[in-house]
Amino acid sequence: MPRYRITLEYDGTGFVGWQRQPEGRSIQGAVEDAILSFGKERVSVRGAGRTDAGVHATGQVAHFDLIREWDPLKLREALNHFLRPHHIAVVECAVAHSGFDARFSATGREYLYRILARRAPPALDRRRVWWLPVELDAAAMHDAAQALVGHHDFTTFRAAACQAASPVKTLERLDVERVGDEIRVHASARSFLHNQVRSMVGSLKFAGTGKWKRSDLAAALDARDRAACGPVAPPTGLYLVRVSYGEFTGTRDSGNDRGQEY
């Protein structure tokens, strides 16, 4: 039974998130329905990250097994035919090793958070950024963010419903930059707690407006108390941009026309 690895991008607007739910549209469900439509197989598609409702992706990775063997290019085209109405696209497809797991084989995940800091509201990116009609100091935000980099107990920045066994994580990167009217926050780690990135971004907003300094963010981290966190940033500005797998690429054949990337 061949295993396939796909990389997806999607607009999370209107979805309940990646994971199937009793009610509402999910990314996972849409991909599974697409496979059923052309392949006549009901399969379980496993993703590398369980993005929340309204969260987007440019580099989500997933895997699934099929009884029938498909050429990866034809499989990608068939998936995209049925996914097109849902604003989901499979950008890469490859045959994977049987031991590859999109979630558990991952060695790193990268997220981008976009804040539009200007007086005028967004017209084109209304559901793809966090609009804040205030001045934000990107340099101050970046400086404060460095208090969170490293191996810490991130209880303060963890959702109450988080199911992770431990709140201790190693945050490898938390950089903030200004690009025109946008403030962009880049976060990298092997894995994240539920709502961790959005919680950190919400607290960094306080640093951007001058309400907090680096020491305040460090104190919030040390408190290990959810009440010490700033406001949780909305899902609209969050993107899963990359999942990395180290030396274990997990694939036998790239099966895409963008060059060997796996």
pLDDT tens-digit series, residues 56-93: 999 999 999 999 999 999 999 999 999 999 999 999 99
Residue 36 sits in the same domain as residue 49 = yes
In this structure, the answer to whether residues 171 and 197 fall within a common structural domain is: yes
Q: What is the reported pLDDT for 163?
A: 86
**Whether residue 48 sits in one domain with residue 145:** no
252 in any annotated domain: no
On whether both 121 and 55 belong to a single domain, the answer is no
Catalytic-labelled residue, pool 11, 52, 143, 225: 52
CA distance 251 to 262: 7
Whether 52 sits among the annotated catalytic residues: the reply is: yes
Residue 155 and residue 226 in contact, taking contact as beta carbons nearer than 8 Å: yes
Write down the H helix ranges in the chain: 27-39, 72-83, 138-145, 196-208, 214-223
In the structure, what pLDDT confidence band is assigned to residue 227 with cuts at 50, 70 and 90?
very high
Which range of residues forms the domain containing residue 23?
Answer: 3-105
6-53: pLDDT as tens digits: 999 999 999 999 999 999 999 999 999 999 999 999 999 999 999 999
User: For 39-53, 160-174, 238-252, which range has the lowest pLDDT when averaged over its residues?
Assistant: 238-252
Q: Are 247 and 220 in contact (CB under 8 A)?
A: no
